[in-house]
């Protein structure tokens, strides 16, 4: 054992390695990404690791390994589970031989996601047991227990954490590599009555799953992480039930010792027996939960089932919000109200606070996506258009002044939406923007669909040679794998041509006039056609010279600032002329090409892609 | 010792590394540490915040309002944004250098950093203002603001540990080729 200060996701990764995991697959997505990244970095050498093309592929690879008797882990964020839901729903009916953990990172808030879905509810729907850790340390130990549990009961298991655990840090004792469990792999044993999901097998296994989950309610009542903490006073009539990161918020409120506490570590199957003993003698219970009222519903159900007169309060009684992330303050207020204590007095600050600007995230200085959006915007000026966006850094193209993202739904959806709009209003020039990693993850069926069904649209692939938003993971277009192998790249252009697209043009977006001309030419062609804007992300290509403004020549028209919204373009001291922040400028030269006075010079772009620096 | 520290700034300013250096220094002294970081979309120039809790009182890494001993603000407006976390007798160490939001330059509401600094002065906290422009000029680098601010926080006595503990953390965490620069940055504020 040794001590390390670890991010929750790193702790989960080391927990999986300690449990002898043999195969790990996943698709990047905040707040889950660092789990797989850490496994790749700390691989003792005998673990197969891959960044899969998407979550569905990752889950299937992990299932195959578990069929062979290996221990496998697949990692994703909550919306990634939607993509992987098809294999997971069926896999629960088939079961696994080796332990298999599905790590899903939920994002209350949401801070970096489209939805606030609660994976505890997904567990209930898919009938897959769910583990919900309260801290980084808990997560480290829990994933090891989850592997044992999965193997023992032959079911995949979801380990579900939230941002404050995934991206929380704690110093903890972890095993040395020599102490890692060695998991022997039996190999796949042919048995079509076990591994082939025909309706007859489904109906049999469905009944078995329901029976098993009923039994697990009792078994999990004895799982030590599901626990009751008695109140300081013996005659206590009030209880607080909580889970995950919120359980620690509850415990940080000193007054919560006046109530009996229930921690739910396995929201599904719900530990009914433990809940019964918790409810014994109580008049009312406050459920402190984030996202769905899972525990609140379960306790209400238990009261109904056993005829208990305990008032269950929480989200449905509006004592906690129905959506959004809970904070320690919000939890503290709800507990004080529940216990009938005075609210803590809020001291007012001094003078009235000056107005604070919201600071939305923006495309980085020198980001090639800015040039791509600006080229399409320039080329299509005056035309009736729709710009369908997608998930990635380039969603930030929606911000003013670019204003180049009219829709965004989920990974890969932009193409389908552009197609649907085209079929309803044929005079609109429909554009679908998609990043390189998203293209591989989820754009191929949509592109084939649009092509075959005779749509007219321009597919714009923003190829920056990496998965930028989540921290520069490789994808099939990069020629590098998670294990560091150099492999043959998959060509986006060849894929598009193989589908049948006649017009596919690749252009450097930082070559502004050529980029505009290319967009005009391509948009004028019939059917589904594509522009591939190819230029590396600034985080993987170091700049070789930043631009400067010649104050003599600058006329102060501010066109560069107004039209590009680049964070490196600022105003000089008296606010009259443009100035470039040398520290953030990458020398992309877009502003140089745009300046009507020719006052900007000196930028030089380095296109050599370097290995991403994860630290 | 129990300390609650908020680090706040704009994505890209190096708050995450600063938070790890603080944690490393505290762990070096045998103290329990919990922290929570902003990682994700906000790192592209949005508002970011790190919570660090040192000592054995804390269970959650998240700091409640009115309980932070110290706010280290990498940007004047961002320090003001997080002031509700500060306890009554708390301290603020802040960089004087504003980071202009793109929206303020492209026709959105104007941003007045001087008003932010004035507000901090009048707020009634123990305030240390760090001239980040001068620091960058003298150190010859824009990238060490995070370590300059940690040095200033150590000098102000609000961290509960000293510059030498942070020095150890820099040697442990920062790649060797940047150590000399970061050690100079650590002792820049006097």
Q: Cα(A369)–Cα(A509) distance, rounded to whole angstroms?
A: 8
DSSP secondary structure letters along A497-527: HHHT-S-EEEE-TTSHHHHHHHHHHHHTSSS
- Tens of pLDDT along B119-178? 999 998 999 999 999 999 999 988 899 999 999 999 999 998 999 999 999 999 999 999
Q: Cα(A22)–Cα(A180) distance, rounded to whole angstroms?
A: 11
Neighbours of B46 (CB within 10 A): 20
Q: Cα(B18)–Cα(A52) distance, rounded to whole angstroms?
A: 33
H helices present in A48-181, as ranges: 55-67, 78-83, 85-94, 119-126, 136-153, 163-166
Using 50, 70 and 90 to split pLDDT, how confident is the model at A481?
Answer: very high
Mean pLDDT confidence for A329-352: 82
Mean pLDDT confidence for B49-65: 95
Using 50, 70 and 90 to split pLDDT, how confident is the model at B38?
Answer: confident
Residue A352 placed within a domain = no
Q: Cα(B4)–Cα(B87) distance, rounded to whole angstroms?
A: 10
Rounded to two decimals, the ipTM of the complex is: 0.94
Residue B93 placed within a domain = yes
Could you tell me which residues come within 8 angstroms of residue A424 by beta carbon, excluding any fewer than 6 positions away?
A: none
Q: Inspect the interface and report whether the beta carbons of B62 and A567 lie closer than 8 Å.
A: no
Residues of B in contact with A347 (CB under 8 A): 66, 88
Residue A606 placed within a domain = no
Residues of A in contact with B43 (CB under 8 A): 361
Residue A609 placed within a domain = no
Residue B107 placed within a domain = no
* Nearest chain A CA: its distance from B147 CA (Å): 16
Residue A348 has pLDDT above 80, yes or no: no
Q: Inspect the interface and report whether the beta carbons of B111 and A357 lie closer than 8 Å.
A: yes
Regarding whether A157 and A55 lie in a shared domain, the answer is yes
Residue B49 placed within a domain = yes
Residue B104 placed within a domain = no
Mean pLDDT confidence for A291-307: 98
A424 touches chain B (CB under 8 A): no
**How high is the pLDDT of residue A612?**
47
Residue A345 has pLDDT above 70, yes or no: no
Residue A519 placed within a domain = yes
DSSP A51: E
Query: What CATH number has the domain bearing residue A415?
Result: 3.40.50.970
Residue B92 placed within a domain = yes
Residue A608 has pLDDT above 80, yes or no: no
Q: Cα(A196)–Cα(A206) distance, rounded to whole angstroms?
A: 14
Residue B105 placed within a domain = no
**How high is the pLDDT of residue B40?**
79
Residue A319 placed within a domain = yes
- Tens of pLDDT along A529-571? 999 999 999 999 877 789 999 999 999 999 999 999 999 999 9
DSSP A538: G
* Nearest chain B CA: its distance from A210 CA (Å): 36
Regarding whether A116 and A243 lie in a shared domain, the answer is no
Query: What CATH number has the domain bearing residue A560?
Result: 3.30.70.20
Q: Inspect the interface and report whether the beta carbons of A353 and B119 lie closer than 8 Å.
A: yes
Which residue is associated with the tokens 């009751």? A228
Could you tell me which residues come within 8 angstroms of residue A200 by beta carbon, excluding any fewer than 6 positions away?
A: none
Task: Please say whether the beta carbons of B4 and B68 come within 8 A.
Answer: yes
Regarding whether A553 and A519 lie in a shared domain, the answer is no
Query: What CATH number has the domain bearing residue A233?
Result: 3.40.50.920
Structural domains of chain B, count? 1
Q: Cα(B128)–Cα(A114) distance, rounded to whole angstroms?
A: 40
Q: Inspect the interface and report whether the beta carbons of B66 and A569 lie closer than 8 Å.
A: no
**How high is the pLDDT of residue A615?**
33
- Structure tokens of A441? 């993850």
- Tens of pLDDT along A410-430? 999 999 999 999 999 999 999
* Nearest chain A CA: its distance from B155 CA (Å): 25
Nearest Cα neighbor of A332 from B86, B65, B3, B54 is B65
Choosing among B37, B62, B136, which should be mutated to test the A contact, i.e. which has the most A CBs within 10 A?
A: B62
Percent of chain A with pLDDT over 70: 97
Regarding whether A389 and A250 lie in a shared domain, the answer is no
Using 50, 70 and 90 to split pLDDT, how confident is the model at A614?
Answer: very low
Regarding whether A589 and A461 lie in a shared domain, the answer is no
**How high is the pLDDT of residue A610?**
61
Question: Looking at chain A from residue 185 to 244, which residues have their Cβ under 8 Å from any Cβ of chain B?
Answer: none
- Tens of pLDDT along A427-439? 999 999 999 999 9
Residue B108 placed within a domain = no
CA dist list (Å): B154 to A69, A138, B21, B34, B144: 54, 33, 12, 19, 16
Q: Is the N-terminal amide bond of A401 cis, ω within 30° of 0?
A: yes
Question: Looking at chain A from residue 321 to 360, which residues have their Cβ under 8 Å from any Cβ of chain B?
Answer: 327-329, 332, 344, 346-347, 349-351, 353-360
The beta-carbon neighbor of B80 closest among A171, A354, A565 is A354
Residue A347 placed within a domain = no
The beta-carbon neighbor of B10 closest among A169, A359, A565 is A359
**How high is the pLDDT of residue B49?**
95
Regarding whether A524 and A558 lie in a shared domain, the answer is no
CA dist list (Å): A41 to A10, A25, A74, A175, A551: 10, 14, 16, 16, 48
Residue A351 placed within a domain = no
Residues of A in contact with B38 (CB under 8 A): 111, 167
Q: Inspect the interface and report whether the beta carbons of B105 and A360 lie closer than 8 Å.
A: no
Chain center to CA of A410:
12
Residue A356 has pLDDT above 90, yes or no: no
Domain that holds residue A433: 368-536
Structural domains of chain A, count? 4
Query: For the purposes of burial, counting CB atoms within 10 Å of the CB of A596, is it exposed (0-12), middle (13-18) or buried (19 or more)?
Result: exposed
Nearest Cα neighbor of A602 from A542, A545, A551, A554 is A545
Residues of B in contact with A583 (CB under 8 A): 136, 142-143
- Tens of pLDDT along A312-327? 999 999 999 999 999 9
Domain that holds residue B143: 3-99+113-186
Using 50, 70 and 90 to split pLDDT, how confident is the model at A611?
Answer: low
**How high is the pLDDT of residue A360?**
86
Residue A60 placed within a domain = yes
Query: What CATH number has the domain bearing residue B7?
Result: 3.40.920.10
- Structure tokens of A208? 């078995």
Residue B175 placed within a domain = yes
Q: Is A114 helix (H, G, I), strand (E, B) or coil?
A: coil
Regarding whether A558 and A510 lie in a shared domain, the answer is no
Task: Please say whether the beta carbons of A395 and A415 come within 8 A.
Answer: no
């Amino acid at each position: 054992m040794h001590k390390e200060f670890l991010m929750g996701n790193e702790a989960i990764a080391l927990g999986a390695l300690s449990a002898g995991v043999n195969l790990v697959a996943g698709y990047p997505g905040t707040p889950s990404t660092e789990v797989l990244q850490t496994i790749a970095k700390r691989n003792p050498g005998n673990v197969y690791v891959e960044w899969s093309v998407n979550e569905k592929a990752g889950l299937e690879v992990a299932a195959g390994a578990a069929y062979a008797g290996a221990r496998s882990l697949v990692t994703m964020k909550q919306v990634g589970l939607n993509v992987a839901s098809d294999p997971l729903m069926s896999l629960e009916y088939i079961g696994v031989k080796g332990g298999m953990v599905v790590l899903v990172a939920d994002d209350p808030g949401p801070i970096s996601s489209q939805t606030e879905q609660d994976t505890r509810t997904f567990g209930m729907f898919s009938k897959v047991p769910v583990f919900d850790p309260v801290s980084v340390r808990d997560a480290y130990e829990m994933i090891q227990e989850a592997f044992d549990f999965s193997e023992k009961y032959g079911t995949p298991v979801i380990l579900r954490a939230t941002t404050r655990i995934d991206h929380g840090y704690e110093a903890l004792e972890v095993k040395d590599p020599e102490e890692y469990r060695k998991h022997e792999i039996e190999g796949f044993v042919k048995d079509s009555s076990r591994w082939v999901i025909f309706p007859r097998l489904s109906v049999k296994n469905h009944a078995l799953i329901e029976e098993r989950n009923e039994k697990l309610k009792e078994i999990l009542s004895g799982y030590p992480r599901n626990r009751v903490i008695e109140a300081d006073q013996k005659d206590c009539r009030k209880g607080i039930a909580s889970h995950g990161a919120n359980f620690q918020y509850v415990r940080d409120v000193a007054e919560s010792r006046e109530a009996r506490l229930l921690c739910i570590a396995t929201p599904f199957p719900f530990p009914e027996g433990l809940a019964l003993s918790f409810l014994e003698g109580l008049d009312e219970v406050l459920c402190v939960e984030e996202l769905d009222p899972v525990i609140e519903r379960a306790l209400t159900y238990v009261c109904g089932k056993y005829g208990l007169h305990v008032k269950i309060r929480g989200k449905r009684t509006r004592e906690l919000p129905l959506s959004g992330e809970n904070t320690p303050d919000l939890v503290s207020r709800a507990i004080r109200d529940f216990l009938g204590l005075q609210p803590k007095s809020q001291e007012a600050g001094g003078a009235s606070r000056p107005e604070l600007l919201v600071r939305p995230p923006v495309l980085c200085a020198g980001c090639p996506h800015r040039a791509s959006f600006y080229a399409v915007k320039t080329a299509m000026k005056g035309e009736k258009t729709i710009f369908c966006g997608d998930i990635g850094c380039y969603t930030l193209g929606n911000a003013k002044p670019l204003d180049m993202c009219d829709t965004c739904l989920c990974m890969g959806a932009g193409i389908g939406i552009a197609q649907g709009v085209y079929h309803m209003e044929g005079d609109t020039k429909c554009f679908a923007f998609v990043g390189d990693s998203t293209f591989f993850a989820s754009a191929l069926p949509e592109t084939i669909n649009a092509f075959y069904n005779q749509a007219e649209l321009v597919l714009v692939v923003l190829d920056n040679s990496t998965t930028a938003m989540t921290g520069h993971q490789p994808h099939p277009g990069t020629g590098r794998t998670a294990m560091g192998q150099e492999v043959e790249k998959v060509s986006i252009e060849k894929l598009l041509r193989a589908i049948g697209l006649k017009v596919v043009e690749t252009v450097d977006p930082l070559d502004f006039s050529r980029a505009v001309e290319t967009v005009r030419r391509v948009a004028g062609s019939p059917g589904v056609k594509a522009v591939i804007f190819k230029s590396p992300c600034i985080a993987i290509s170091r700049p070789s010279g930043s631009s400067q403004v010649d104050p003599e020549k600058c006329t102060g028209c501010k066109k560069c600032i107004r039209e590009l919204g680049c964070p490196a373009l600022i105003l000089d001291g008296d606010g009259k002329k443009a100035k470039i922040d040398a520290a953030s400028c990458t020398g992309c030269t877009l502003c140089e090409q745009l300046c009507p006075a020719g006052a900007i010079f000196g930028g030089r772009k380095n296109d050599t892609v370097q290995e991403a620096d994860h630290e | 010792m129990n300390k609650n520290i908020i680090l706040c700034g704009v994505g890209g300013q190096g708050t995450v590394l600063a938070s790890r250096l603080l944690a490393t220094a505290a762990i070096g002294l045998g103290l329990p540490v919990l922290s929570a970081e902003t990682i994700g979309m906000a790192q592209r120039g949005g508002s970011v915040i790190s919570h660090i809790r040192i000592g054995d009182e804390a269970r959650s890494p998240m700091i409640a309002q009115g309980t932070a001993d110290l706010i280290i603000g990498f940007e004047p407006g961002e320090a003001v944004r997080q002031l509700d976390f500060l306890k009554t007798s708390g301290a603020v160490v802040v960089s004087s250098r504003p980071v202009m939001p793109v929206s303020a330059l492209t026709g959105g509401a104007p941003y007045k950093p001087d008003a932010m600094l004035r507000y901090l002065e009048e707020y009634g906290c123990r305030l240390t203002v760090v001239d980040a422009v001068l620091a960058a000029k003298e150190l010859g680098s824009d990238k060490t603001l995070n370590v300059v601010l940690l040095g200033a926080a150590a000098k102000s006595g609000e961290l509960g540990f000293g510059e030498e503990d942070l020095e150890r953390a820099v040697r442990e965490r920062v790649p060797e080729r940047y150590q000399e620069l970061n050690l100079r940055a650590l002792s820049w504020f006097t």
